[in-house]
Structure 1
C-alpha cells in the first residue's frame, strides 16, 4: 500500500520526520518497504498484512499515526447538497446473486466530464494511479482514501434504470474497460441491466457503461461483495485490480454510505451537476461488531510488563473502539466496524502492546509459561517419522491439487468423484512435459503427488529417491458439502515390495509392539497384479501396498520401478501404545524349523501363514516368509513352492525335540488338509 505524505497531511499534522514516522509504523505492524519522491511528494510504501484491510486507505494509516503520535485525526464529513428529486424514483436495484451482500446507488444529474484538478491528479500519481477523468478519478480517490472500492456508471446506458446483481451465464461474454472480452462462468457475480452485464462485481467495470466525454447522468455504486467470489473471479480471469485486492481482504460494509457521499461530494466539486436526494440501498445491514472484555491483568501475563489502566482504555478508544465499561480491573469495548480482526481478548492485548511499543518491553521481562501438551496424533506422527527417517526416507511436502489423470489412476479410499477447485494450480505441474492436463482436483490420495516427486528426482539423476508424506486427503461424502479429511501417510521407494512391507511392519511395531500386519487381496490397477495387497492390522484396514505396474510407470513418466504404500494414520493412532509397557521375555532358548511346501498357485501366503500360526498355537513365536519358487517340470503346472521358517519357544520350559516335532507335524497336517500342501522332504 503506497501512501502520500501530502495526502496524509490532510488528516493528521505530520510534525515528525519521515524516518521517525516510518520507524513507528514499522514497529506497530505496518512494515516500511521504501519511499520514493514523486513530484516533490513522498510516496511511502507500507506492507499491510491481510488482517488489516482498514489500512488499505489513507484514513486508516492516518488513524494509526494519530494514535501513535497522540495527534488529532481530521476525518472529512461529506454532506453533498441534494435536489428535491429522489433517486429511488429513477433507479431500482435487485440483488439476485448470493455473492453480493449489499448494494447502494446514488444518482448525479448534469455532470460535465473533463480533467481532474491538479491536486487530485498529483495525489493519484503519487500512489501509482493514472488519471482518467474527473468522475473516474473521484471513485479512485475515495478508494485510496478510505479503502472502499467504488464504480461510476453512465446511467443513460443502463436499460430502464434498473441494476440487477446476478450470477453470470455459462460462457457469457463480458467486454471490460481494458477493452478485452472475457468469458465468464456461472459462479461469477456481475452487475447488469435487463440485457447485458455492465461490470464484474468487485473486479472491473464494463466498456458498455463506462464514463465517456458525453456522459451527463452518473450512477455511483458502493457495494459489499463476497471475498471468495471476488478472489475466484479475479484469479480465473487473471484480472487483478486495486478494487479486487481490497474486496478479497474484506471491506467495512458500515462505511458504504460514507464512501458514497464522499465520492458524490467530490464529483459535484470537480464535474458539477446535482445530486438526487436519497440513496437506493439494498441488501444486508452491517453486522453488529463484537463486545470484548480486556482484563488488565492479562497485559502483565502476556507482555510481561505493567501498562497503566488509563493508558489501555485511552488507546482502545483512540483506535475507534467504543468503551462500554472501564475500571482498574478491566475494560469492555465494542470493536469498530473496520476491524474484523478484533474478536478476542488477546487481540486487545496486542493492540495495547503495539501502541505502547513492543520495543519498550525489556528483553528479560518475565512471562509465565506453561508446558504445552502434545496431542496423541502428533506423538504418533513423531514415531512414524522416526522410523522412516531412520530407514533412509526423506519427508516430502506436495501440493493438494492434482490433474484428473492422476486422480482417476489411484483412489483406493473412495469411489466418489474428486472435488474440483475453482482455482487451478499454476507452476511446475501445469508446465510439466508429460501433458497431464489442468491441475484442479483435490487429491483423494497422496500417492500421485509422491510419484510426481519421484519423477522429478529421476529427471535430475538423483539416485536414492525414498520419500514419504503425511497430509490430509479430501474424500467427498455424498450429500455433504464438506469432504471427509483424514490424515494419511504415503511412502514411495525404489526398493521392492517386501522391503517396503517390512518398513510398514516396523512402523506398526513402533506404535504397538504386539501387533502384526497381514496382507489381503486388492484390485488396484496402478499396482502390479502379483505385487499388491490391502494392509490390515487388528482386523482393521490399515492401507494399501504395491509395486507400480508398467502402465502406471508410463502414466507417471517413471524410468525405474517404484513401490508405494498408503496408510490411514487414524488406525495407527487408535492402536498406539504411547507409554512403553514391560513384558517378561522367555528365558528359554528357541528352536527354528524350516518348511518347504508345494501348493497351488491360488494359495496366498496370508492364508498359509494363518494356518501355520493356528496349528502351532502358543509355541509359535514368529513366522518368516523366505521365498517363492516355481519349477513346473518337477512340481507341475500352476504349482509353486513356499519356503518359510518357524521359530518355536516356550515361556515355561525348554522345548524338547519331541514337543517341537509334535508342533511341526500339526503344522504339516493342517496345511495339507486346508491347502493341499505337500512338504518337500
Structure 2
C-alpha cells in the first residue's frame, strides 16, 4: 500500500523527514518497506525556466537555424541558437539553462551545455514538450500564454509535483490503516498532534434529476447502502493535482469521475462506485443475490458465471455490479455520461471475501471491503466526493442522500484491567498514560476504577474486539523499544530463520559453471599500476598502493578482475591454447574518502572458438549470446528475475550491456575493447562479464515460485517489424509486455534481417507471441484485439512498419 507524504500533511502537521516518519510507523506496527521519491515529471524540471524571446534572426550559416536573445530573468539576455521553425520575437517560451539535465519523453537524459553551433554561441535551449518529458509533441517549441515573470521556474507553471511515497506492508488485521486518514490517525497518537479532518457540508438539491430508489434484500450482507444522484457532469481529464496524486500511488488517471472515486478510496478508505444513472432500468437499485450460473459481463469485457453466493447490485433487468468487487460493462461511466448515481456502502467482509475468491478478482475496493471498512464512513465519503464532482466535473446535486441503514452497527465495549495490561506488556504503564494513548487512538475510556475501565471502540477498528487487542494498542503506541528486557529470557518455540550460506551459494555456482566447461581461475590480488593509469576507465587515484612493494608489477591492489584474468588468457594463448572458458570469484579494492573498501566480484571470460573443427561441423567462434546465456543462467539459479539491461559502448568494453537492479549496477557483459587487450598483450578477442557478487548474494533467493499449469491452451501469433537499427530488442520487448498485458506469456525473436531488401538504417525482427488466458479459452476476438494493441504500440512507440 502506497501513502503520499504530501497528502498526509493535509491531515497532520509534519516536520519530520519521510525516513523518520517511516521509522515511527514501522515501530508502531505499520511496517514501511520502502521510501520512494516521486516526481510527476522526471527531474522535476530543475534548471528549466520561463523566458521571453526578445529578438530572433536567421543564422548566417544555416537556413534552418535562428539566433535568438532570450530574457530568462538575469541581468543580461542569453543568446540561444534554435532550430524550431515557429520561434519568434515576443514569445513566452520554456528555456533549459546551462547545466540543466533534461529527461525527454523518449531517449536518454542529457545535460545542457554552453556550445557553439555553426560558429554562434548558444547558452541554453528553447524546448519542445517532448524534450522536457511533459508530452510527446515535437512539432515545435512550446509557446506559453502566461504573465509569469521571466526566470520563473517552469515547475511552477506546469504544476510539477514532488513527493515522498511510503510503501507500507499492511498486515491483514489493520484494515483501518488502508488509507491516508488511517495512517494519519496513527501519527496523531505517535506524535501527540491533532489531525484535521476534511470538512463537508450538507448537500442541497441544485437541480431535479432522475428518481432512484433502493431496495436492500439482504441486510446481513449489506448492512448499509447510501447513494446520491449527480447531474450535468462533464466527463473529462482530471486536474493536474489529482492526476499527480494518483500517479504517485501507481494508479493511472482515467477521467474525473473515476479518478474522484479512486481518490476517496485511497484518502478515506471508503470505496465508491459510479453508475450511469440513465442505464438504471426503472430508476430502481436492488441489492441482493442472483441465481447460480447467471452470466454477467464485467468491465474487462469478460463473461463470468455467478456462484449465487456473491452480493450483486442490480436493477429490475439484472446485475449491474458485483458488489464491492467489480463493476459491470453495461452500467459503467463513459465519456458520454452526464448523470450518475454514486454508491457508497458498507458490505459484510465475508460475502466480499467469498465473491472475490470465487471469481479470482482482487481490486482496491475488495481489498478494503473484505478486511472491514468503517460503517460510519459512507455518507461522509459521499459528501466529500460530491463536493469534488461539483468542483472538478461541474456536477449538480439532484437528490437527497439515500441512506438505507436499518440496524446501525454498535461500538465495541471491552472491559480492561490494569493488572492485565502490566502483565502482558511486561512493565507497569500508569493509568494516566493508558487513557492518553487510547483517547489519541479514538478509543473512549469510561467507567474508570482503581482496577480497570471500559473501552468504547469505534467499529472501524475491526481488529480491536478483546482486552488483549486493547493492550496491544497501548503497547505499540507506548513503544516496544521502551519495554526493558529482563535478565533471564526464554521461549517455548524458536521459529526457523534460514540464513544464506554464502560459501554454499558460491559452491553451487562453481559446480554449474564447471559443468558447462569453465575452468576456475585464482589470480593474485596485486597487479600493475599501469593498468589503472593507461586503461582509460579506472581512476589511478583510487588504487590501493602497497608501501613495501616487492616489484612495480605488483605495486597496487586490483580494482577489477579483468586484467588478472586477461593475463591468464594471454599466457594460454601464447602457448596455443586459444579456446578458453574461465571464471573467477575474487575481491577488488579501492580507496575512499573514509579509508578503503573492498567487494567480491564474479568474472567470466570467453575467447577463441566455442566448438572445434570436425568432420561434423566447422569451428564457430564465441559470440556475445554465448556469454550472456551464462549470465542469464546465473541469475536464474539465484532466482533473480528483475534485472534491467542497458546498452553501453564504454571502456572496458567495445560494446555490451550493463545490468542493473533498481539503481544499483549489477555488472557488465560484452566484448573487451582492443585498447584494453593491447595493454594486457592479448592477441585475440575476449568476451568478458563482471558481476557484483556481494549484490548477487544479497538479492539471491532460495525460494522458487511455482504456479498451476493452465488448463487452457496457448496460442501463437507472429509479427515481422521493420524498425530503426538503433532500437534494441529490449525496447521492443518492453513495449510488447506493456501493450499485451497479462495475456502475453512469452515473447521471442526468431529472425533478424538487415540487407538490401529493406531501407538502409533499418532492420527487421520476426517476433513470436505466446498468448494464454489462465481462466478462459482465448477467442479470436480477444486474440485479434491483443495483436491490434501490439501493432498499434509498435507503430506509435518505436515507429515500426509491420511487414505482411
Tell me what 1:302 maps to. Answer: 424
Tell me what 1:35 maps to. Answer: 35
Tell me what 1:386 maps to. Answer: none
1:193: how far off? 0.9
Q: In structure 1, what is the Cα distance between the partners aligned to 2:473 and 2:405? A: 32
8 Å Cα contact 1:302-1:367 kept in structure 2: no
SS in 1 for 2:205: strand
Tell me what 1:503 maps to. Answer: none
Higher helix share: 1
Q: In structure 2, what is the Cα distance between the partners aligned to 1:233 and 1:298? A: 40
| 2:373 equivalent among 243, 246, 251 | 251
Residue 357 (structure 1) aligned with residue 479 (structure 2) = yes
Tell me what 1:241 maps to. Answer: 363
SS in 2 for 1:219: strand
1:329: how far off? 4.3
Q: In structure 1, what is the Cα distance between the partners aligned to 2:275 and 2:319? A: 12
Q: In structure 2, what is the Cα distance between the partners aligned to 1:86 and 1:309? A: 56
In the superposition, relative to structure 1, how do residues 131 and 285 fare at CA in structure 2: closer, same or farther (>3 Å)?
A: farther
In the superposition, relative to structure 1, how do residues 290 and 258 fare at CA in structure 2: closer, same or farther (>3 Å)?
A: same
Tell me what 2:339 maps to. Answer: 217
Q: In structure 2, what is the Cα distance between the partners aligned to 1:80 and 1:266? A: 14
Q: Superposed, which structure 2 residues align to 1:168-317 within 5 Å?
A: 168-317=290-439
1:174: how far off? 1.7
Q: In structure 2, what is the Cα distance between the partners aligned to 1:365 and 1:19? A: 33
Tell me what 2:455 maps to. Answer: 333
8 Å Cα contact 2:287-2:312 kept in structure 1: yes
Q: What is the TM-score normalised by the length of structure 2?
A: 0.45
Give CA-to-partner distance per residue, 1:257-303, whole Å, 9 cap, x none: 11111111111111112213522122443311122233223332222
Q: In structure 1, what is the Cα distance between the partners aligned to 2:408 and 2:267? A: 21
1:353: how far off? 1.1
Give CA-to-partner distance per residue, 1:112-170, whole Å, 9 cap, x none: 11111111111111112211111111111111011111101111110111001121233
SS in 2 for 1:293: strand
Q: Superposed, which structure 2 residues align to 1:633-672 within 5 Å?
A: none
Tell me what 2:18 maps to. Answer: 18
8 Å Cα contact 1:313-1:331 kept in structure 2: no
Tell me what 1:343 maps to. Answer: 465
In the superposition, relative to structure 1, how do residues 13 and 365 fare at CA in structure 2: closer, same or farther (>3 Å)?
A: farther
SS in 1 for 2:166: strand
Give CA-to-partner distance per residue, 1:510-538, whole Å, 9 cap, x none: xxxxxxxxxxxxxxxxxxxxxxxxxxxxx
Greater relative CO (CA pairs within 8 A, separation 6+): 1
1:332: how far off? 2.5
1:328: how far off? 5.2
Tell me what 1:92 maps to. Answer: 213
Give CA-to-partner distance per residue, 1:73-130, whole Å, 9 cap, x none: 011121154126788x811111224532321111112111111111111111111221
In the superposition, relative to structure 1, how do residues 368 and 254 fare at CA in structure 2: closer, same or farther (>3 Å)?
A: farther
Cα root mean square deviation, aligned: 2.6
Q: Superposed, which structure 2 residues align to 1:490-505 within 5 Å?
A: none
In the superposition, relative to structure 1, how do residues 92 and 428 fare at CA in structure 2: closer, same or farther (>3 Å)?
A: same
In the superposition, relative to structure 1, how do residues 56 and 432 fare at CA in structure 2: closer, same or farther (>3 Å)?
A: closer
Tell me what 1:117 maps to. Answer: 239
In the superposition, relative to structure 1, how do residues 199 and 23 fare at CA in structure 2: closer, same or farther (>3 Å)?
A: same
* 5+ long unaligned stretches in structure 1: 373-426, 434-681
In the superposition, relative to structure 1, how do residues 159 and 346 fare at CA in structure 2: closer, same or farther (>3 Å)?
A: same
SS in 2 for 1:301: helix
Tell me what 1:161 maps to. Answer: 283
Q: Superposed, which structure 2 residues align to 1:396-415 within 5 Å?
A: none
Tell me what 2:198 maps to. Answer: 76
Q: In structure 2, what is the Cα distance between the partners aligned to 1:12 and 1:303? A: 29
1:196: how far off? 2.8
Q: Superposed, which structure 2 residues align to 1:600-611 within 5 Å?
A: none
8 Å Cα contact 2:207-2:396 kept in structure 1: no
1:367: how far off? 10
SS in 2 for 1:103: strand
Q: In structure 1, what is the Cα distance between the partners aligned to 2:708 and 2:334? A: 41
Give CA-to-partner distance per residue, 1:547-570, whole Å, 9 cap, x none: xxxxxxxxxxxxxxxxxxxxxxxx
SS in 2 for 1:341: coil
| 1:324 equivalent among 442, 446, 453 | 446
Q: Superposed, which structure 2 residues align to 1:136-151 within 5 Å?
A: 136-151=258-273
Q: In structure 2, what is the Cα distance between the partners aligned to 1:185 and 1:309? A: 51
In the superposition, relative to structure 1, how do residues 359 and 176 fare at CA in structure 2: closer, same or farther (>3 Å)?
A: same
Residue 67 (structure 1) aligned with residue 189 (structure 2) = yes
Q: In structure 1, what is the Cα distance between the partners aligned to 2:238 and 2:487? A: 55
Tell me what 2:3 maps to. Answer: 3
SS in 1 for 2:196: coil
Q: In structure 2, what is the Cα distance between the partners aligned to 1:252 and 1:225? A: 10
In the superposition, relative to structure 1, how do residues 81 and 290 fare at CA in structure 2: closer, same or farther (>3 Å)?
A: closer
8 Å Cα contact 2:372-2:460 kept in structure 1: no
In the superposition, relative to structure 1, how do residues 175 and 307 fare at CA in structure 2: closer, same or farther (>3 Å)?
A: same
Q: In structure 2, what is the Cα distance between the partners aligned to 1:176 and 1:86? A: 31
Q: In structure 1, what is the Cα distance between the partners aligned to 2:295 and 2:277? A: 21
8 Å Cα contact 2:211-2:399 kept in structure 1: no
SS in 2 for 1:316: helix
Q: In structure 2, what is the Cα distance between the partners aligned to 1:155 and 1:187? A: 26
